[in-house]
Amino acid sequence: MIAALSIRPPGAPAPERVDCMQLIAGSGADGDRHLDPLSPRQLLLASTTSYAALDLPPQALRENLLLDDDIDRLPSGTVLQIGEHAQVRLMFACEACGRLDLHGARLATRIGARRGILARVVEGGVIRPGDPVRALGQRFASWPHDWRVRIAQVLDAVPPGAVVEYAQLARLAGIQSSYCRAFPRLLRTLGPGYAGKAIAARAACPGPRWNGAGLFDVTDAWASAPSRPAPRP
């Protein structure tokens, strides 16, 4: 069940509690700063069990949806039905950031992978606190929690002959743009097949630049593929 809803408008320092939320298919929550059709992190779902276990004040995890259900056990690719119409797809665990330490000493370290799960909107609709939440099963390909493995996964989807700019690659993989400085070294560790697939914005390249169209439509191609080990740092 939905315990609470929050939206963080663009420019707002923190999420704000709301009585209802309009979810837009393929984009996110209306009015939220993370509304983005090409991002895997449109929503953050957190659990009341995490708040209870860490004795946190309300909204400390900066979630959009606070659930009474423990969703950490559900695999990536699971679809949740919320209320009558809305559906969201679980993507990967949200990394704890340093801002969490404002709510407790070393909270970012103590919380580990319990901050919550990032999700994309599959079916839109209006949701409200008190709406039931039901898991419909793993209906999409899973996405790894390790950001380096996600980078490789996104690069695997780049069309032949095309390239993706570093900033867009970070956006598609759901990581901060500051990670771009690590991309040249990471690409070298991934192997020669990846070296020419991602470039800096100002780099000259005869091939078309891919924006990620169709990336999140994959249902089972990656789900049936063998697990990829994390690249060595």
Same domain, 69 and 183: no
How is the chain split among helix, strand and coil, in percent rounded to 5? 25, 25, 50
Using the structure block, give the residue that is written with the tokens 């995890």: 61
- What are the angstrom distances between the C-alpha of 113 and each of 2, 85, 232? 21, 29, 21
* Structural tokens at position 28: 């996110």
Q: What is the pLDDT of residue 225?
A: 43
Q: What is the CATH number of the domain that holds 167?
A: 1.10.10.10
Same domain, 17 and 91: yes
| Res 60 pLDDT > 80 | yes
**H or E element in which residue 155 lies:** helix 147-156
Neighbours of 117 (CB within 10 A): 27
Same domain, 117 and 155: no
Q: What number is the average pLDDT over the span 152-169?
A: 96
| Confidence bin at 135 (pLDDT 50/70/90) | very high
Name every residue whose Cβ is closer than 8 Å to that of residue 143 and which is 6 or more positions away in sequence.
40, 76, 77, 91, 92, 150, 153, 222
Q: What number is the average pLDDT over the span 111-128?
A: 90
* Number of separate domains in the chain: 2
Q: Is residue 232 included in any domain, yes or no?
A: no
* Structural tokens at position 68: 């009474």
pTM of this structure? 0.89
Same domain, 109 and 187: no
Average pLDDT, the chain: 89
3-state secondary structure of 194: helix
| Res 44 pLDDT > 70 | yes
More confident residue, 13 or 163: 163
Q: What number is the average pLDDT over the span 23-29?
A: 98
Contact 101, 107 (CB under 8 A): yes
More confident residue, 194 or 100: 194
Same domain, 52 and 123: yes
* Structural tokens at position 174: 């759901």
3-state secondary structure of 107: helix
What region does 220 belong to: left with phi over 0, alpha with psi -120 to 50, or beta? alpha
| Confidence bin at 97 (pLDDT 50/70/90) | low
Q: What is the pLDDT of residue 128?
A: 98
Tell me which residue range forms the domain holding 14: 2-138
Q: What is the CATH number of the domain that holds 7?
A: 2.40.33.20
Q: Is residue 152 included in any domain, yes or no?
A: yes
* Structural tokens at position 97: 């950031």
Same domain, 111 and 187: no
